[in-house]
Structure 1
């Protein structure tokens, strides 16, 4: 296993920051999945942060910060303005789904590069996304916005089962569920409505959509001055049906599928009027061709940016900072290999008793980039849909390989060396919300 730095991540390269170039980062995100983003930006730029609380792990990576109520867009914009009064800000960016619109507003206020707030609202509002895709002839799913159980029933009958119900505005597959028949609809509608009440949701509407059958992928895109390049393709494994929990991702620098789906992904970015930044465009490969699930105006989650770096050498957080400053990024790959992440879930709900990887195996393995545990013995082990990305995952393993086939073989080998124990006869010692 590769020797990590103090953060538990392998440092890909050494760079010298530019103290005269300050980038304003709106929300650092959580340490597990977004620390690498902040580290890679801070390696090249002086960083000023807008945060919801006093910095902890972020402190050595930031030159300055402002605390704001991150649920109040006006407060976030005011905090960004205050930082701009103290520093010569060259660019503004975020990798936080819920801060896309305020970040765009700050960039506009400061006269800096960035997509229009209206485009970011279109990303956040899945109903608006579907409308724009349809108007521009980009393949996606039939979708009907609903506000009641009766409307949802009529929409499902119109589209035809199976259908997917989802909140019009949220992230992380919260409140997303497949419905195979009318008898399942009442419970599914209640589940989706509950998802509209989640943190960051900006709408109480529920979308009823055509179910897109086929493998799921995402295209990682870079847009500069309205021109979009598809730089990597991520193949996904989802599970816990009828929910859409993500279990694993692989990135192969030489994946031939990228050229097939790139035109659809870049057309979707263009349809939403996105001018600048990184996009994580999710698609299903159906028997009618690639169809858009959604367009996310930021770096993908689940450490996908690290997978892209390991596989291609392209540093998406640094590229995002360059774009925010109006600098054309260098998109020349410097590596040609594969990388994978497996997200680890318990086999049953209960109380976590242990989790480990064989120490001798880990020491003797140079292709494991990171093993990270998110839950400790005694924590509740909760499965979807009760558990979500913050409470159901026990940990993850991230690795590199010369090819994606080898990466999958290595994942299988590593899983044989990982042990996760759950006492399903006991009640969790804490609630799921207290698990972290």
Structure 2
């Protein structure tokens, strides 16, 4: 237990599992610039310390441990709200809000976001455009469902995140190998859902709509265009946000409809959808700020502060969602060209330190680390680093990101080819970095 005590009258926001520094530091920094913040973490504070007034260490995989930690913080602080941007902590955070009598979504609404089968059922009942689906627990059930829905289909764990275990299946001959891949992901999914979903494949560009919901009213504040790779997987390797994106007016009502269908009343939502030939259709509703620095892209492009908005809503205060910028921002994520050992990863100093539109870079992997190309590795094994760029328009940022990648040096000493050939699912590597395999 942290022994630091703050004044009882100070309104404090609890943040449940603030996450890793490279991905979520900006969220904690922005929330803490608005309110005193207490956090519940799996380990004593490190990088979080400058932003935090109090903390508790808890088992973040145990809802009861999280609730006990929140009660301890509430005894030492005047807690006014609780929030999380951790996908796996959505339901425990809703339970904490209920325990402490704070604003927030009901545990049932949080669970509806987490369990993709429940999400699909609720959206179907509310006529939200989505995908046909079946929840299954065995390969023969998946085969029957895929035959009824029609190939191609998508297999996905019922309650995972980050596209782990998600794969497109184009024919019955591909189903067994894809089933093995998805079940490996499902073995580590959250407790809110079980088994696997077989879904209609929604063909078309993928986007997300960044929304803020306050007391049941949802406002779409930005639209994110996504870049995917490693088909038949759905690995997200880039995102672009442009202020005043004309597509936002078209998709905003659909995103808000989906949020309402799941019973979500408060917070920030990252609503993913595909632009199909028959119109926009929902992939899923994530009841938190999007990953991959999407909240930062929104801030850079529009001036709208999503972490601050999340904290405002958590204490029952109407957030200010007035745009103050009219520009664009993008993130590109660097992947290895092969599975093996990372031998070099850098941007030339003339690029990294002297390029005005390069907002930020970060490295997930160090030289000497093992790296793995999907599907051999998930995002923890495959991602090497990222870069955030800005520009006047979305096209500017995409061109600048492409230019940046021509300067990136990613070298890998590859593993033996025969060892890699044992994989059941093989996918091509996207040519989006200048890379060497030795």
Partners of 1:356 and 1:418 within 8 A in 2: yes
Residues in 2 aligned to 1:111 and 1:20: alpha-carbon distance in whole angstroms: 17
| Counterpart in the other structure of 1:78 | 68
CA contact (8 A) 1:350 1:424 kept: yes
Residue among 160, 173, 180 paired with 1:190 = 180
How far has the Cα of 1:134 moved from its partner?
0.3
Distance 2:68 2:353 in 1: 48
1:56 aligns with 2:56: no
For 1:80 and 1:58, how far apart are their aligned partners in 2? 17
Does 2:86 align with 1:120?
Answer: no
Q: Which residue of 2 aligns with 1:349?
A: 339
Partner of residue 213 from structure 1, selected from 196, 203, 212: 203
Tell me, in whole angstroms, the C-alpha distance in 2 between the residues paired with 1:53 and 1:426. 38
Does structure 1 conserve the Cα–Cα contact (< 8 Å) formed by 2:157 and 2:189? Answer: no
Q: Does 1:339 align with 2:329?
A: yes
Instruction: Find the counterpart in structure 1 of residue 246 from structure 2.
Output: 256
Paired position in structure 2 for 1:66? 56
Task: Pick one of 291, 299, 317 that aligns with 2:289.
Answer: 299
1:105 and 2:95 equivalent?
yes
Deviation at 1:281, TM superposition (A): 0.2
Q: TM (normalized to structure 1)?
A: 0.92
Q: What are the Cα deviations for residues 152-203 of structure 1, in whole angstroms up to 9, with x where unaligned?
A: 1100000010000000111000110000111111111111111112253543
Per the alignment, residue 399 of structure 1 pairs with: 389
The 4+ residue runs of structure 1 with deviation greater than 6 A are none
Matches within 5 A, 1:27-426: 27-198=17-188, 200-425=190-415
CA contact (8 A) 2:11 2:77 kept: no
Relative to the length of structure 2, the TM-score reads 0.92
Q: Does structure 2 conserve the Cα–Cα contact (< 8 Å) formed by 1:283 and 1:291?
A: yes
SS in 1 for 2:68: helix
Contact 2:207 2:224 in 1 (8 A): yes
Question: 1:326 & 1:264 partners in 2: Cα distance?
Answer: 25
8 Å contact from structure 1 (residues 19, 46) kept in 2: no
State the 1:55 CA deviation: 1.4
- Distance in 2 of aligned mates of 1:153 and 1:425: 34
Question: Structure 1 residues 201, 171: CA separation in 2 closer, same or farther (over 3 Å shift)?
Answer: farther
Counterpart in 2 of 1:12?
A: none
Q: Is the 8 A contact 2:10 2:77 kept in 1?
A: no
Pairwise CA RMSD:
1.5
Contact 2:111–2:192 (CA under 8 A) maintained in structure 1: no
* Unaligned stretches of 5+ residues in structure 1: 1-17, 429-436
**Cα distance in 2 for residues equivalent to 1:26 and 1:330:** 23
SS at match of 2:387: strand
Deviation of residue 19 (structure 1)?
8.2
Distance in 1 separating the partners of 2:329 and 2:416: 37
How far apart, CA to CA, are the structure 1 residues paired with 2:218 and 2:241? Answer: 19
Gaps of 5+ in 2: 1-7, 420-438
